[in-house]
Amino acid sequence: MTALDRARREFGGRRFLRLPTWARTIRMRLTLTYSAVLFGITAAALAAVYVALSSTVSAAPLNPVTIKKFYKTADGTIVYKPGEQFQVADLETVQRAVNYASLQSLQTYSIVALVVMFALSLVIGWWVAGRALRPVDAIAKATQEITATDLSRRIDASGPPDELHTLADTIDGMLDRLDSAFRAERMLVEDVSHELRNPVAVVQSNVEAVLADDDATPEERRAAATVVLQSTHRMTRLLEDLLATARARSEAFTDRDVDVAELARAVASEYRVLADRRDLAVHERINGGPVVFADPDALARALGNLLSNAVRLAPTGSTITIGVGSNRGWAWIAVRDEGPGIAEDERARVFDRFFRSADETHRSTGTGLGLSIARQIVESHEGRLRLTSRAGTGSTFTIWLPERALPGAPARSEEPPTGDPVS
């Protein structure tokens, strides 16, 4: 085992985990980082000052010369006088000694200052790191209070618009999207339960009535079976629409270049037989040219839902107009009927799931998911589904899709034009 492996085991195993909790925090690591950087900078600065001074001044310990007084006797013997000795040195030697003592004092004081500064930097760094990481604690506490059943809690960070503020805002935005998604799922379950309750009750009541009446005639049994069949058809359509809704929301599309005019003609031909049964005329105002990058099957379903609604709700003997064109870089497909129009207070809710109009003339046997599915498909292709309606003159549903960028094509505006393109 190499030294690196042993170090990894030591710091990744039990020895590292035995450290106190506070010693393993980011706050502690930041504190040590601040202190180490400050200690290194200060030590380098003091060392540079010491080296600069020692290189510019002459310094050496004092080595004085000892002088003793003496006298000679008659026989020439030298006798030193007791207590009559002293040390002497020239001026340059004394100056070097003073410089040497000053450098020694500077070295001692620098070491003491570094130790004191490092201790103070630990305290100050711990406090500064705590202040800087306080929003992180708030974010952690707020996220811990969030549960799957209650996503209303938000961080609502205050303070300067720094990185932590951006992180808190990002988490709040994610929670908003999750809350909207969960709320939509709950609403979908509630709506589906409500929509399935009636046909299931009809099936159950008719089957129970037939089984309880041993004397029921074949005609009565046939009538009950017809009611059951109609209810099962309704449940089948509902489940198919729910499956289409899930597919539309998953954005699992196979996009390619689609000729909008060709697609509109193909979808319109599928609904001519249904329109003929209700004595409805289908008028085409299709201009060739627009090309979009989309899933043709999903786009055909969205357009089919619009035509299906128009065929079901248009007055007998009226005309349904389907148009295709482009404007300001947006390709459009419009379906217009000659019905009574949609009330202004219902236009904002007409794309909601399971929407039912209060006007009896707009009630149908549909599931209430067609327009919702169409809007999801269109918006998944970065498009818009718009409604234009006037009382007494009918309604126009328009699919706006970004036109394929082709040479010579006009620049696309940020939003598609407003109004009825087939008016």
pLDDT tens-digit readout, 169-190: 888 888 888 887 787 777 767 6
Domains of the chain: 3-72+79-132 (no CATH), 163-247 (1.10.287.130), 252-402 (3.30.565.10)
pLDDT of residue 412: 75
The β-bridge relationship of strands 330-336 and 319-327 is antiparallel
Average pLDDT, 10 consecutive residues per value, the chain (423 residues) = 51 55 79 87 86 72 62 66 60 71 84 89 88 80 74 76 81 84 74 70 82 83 84 76 62 78 90 87 86 87 87 88 90 89 76 61 57 84 88 86 68 81 80
Cα dist from 33 to 29, 62, 187, 292, whole Å = 6, 43, 51, 56
Residue type at 224 in one-letter notation: A
Size of the chain, expressed as the number of residues it contains: 423
Token digits of residue 180: 């909207």
The single residue listed with the structure tokens 């041993």 is 214
By CB atoms closer than 10 A (0-12, 13-18, 19+), residue 88 is exposed
Pairwise CA distance, residues 422 & 327, whole Å: 12
Q: What secondary structure, in 3-state letters, does the chain show?
A: CCHHHHHHHHHHCHHHHCCCHHHHCHHHHHHHHHHHHHHHHHHHHHHHHHHHHHHHCCCCCCCCEEEEEEEECCCCCEEEEEEEEEEECCHHHHHHHHHHHHHHHHHHHHHHHHHHHHHHHHHHHHHHHHHHCHHHHHHHHHHHCCECCECCCCCCCCCCCCHHHHHHHHHHHHHHHHHHHHHHHHHHHHHHHHHHHHHHHHHHHHHHHHHHCCCCCHHHHHHHHHHHHHHHHHHHHHHHHHHHHHHHHHCCCCCEEEEHHHHHHHHHHHCHHHHHHCCCEEEEEECCCCEEEECHHHHHHHHHHHHHHHHHHCCCCCEEEEEEEEECCEEEEEEECCCCCCCHHHCCCCCCCCCCCCCHHHCCCCCCCHHHHHHHHHHHCCCEEEEEEECCCEEEEEEEEEECCCCCCCCCCCCCCCCCCCC
pLDDT of residue 4: 46
Token digits of residue 159: 């303070």
pLDDT of residue 406: 55
pLDDT of residue 320: 92
What residues have CB less than 8 Å from 211, skipping those under 6 apart?
none
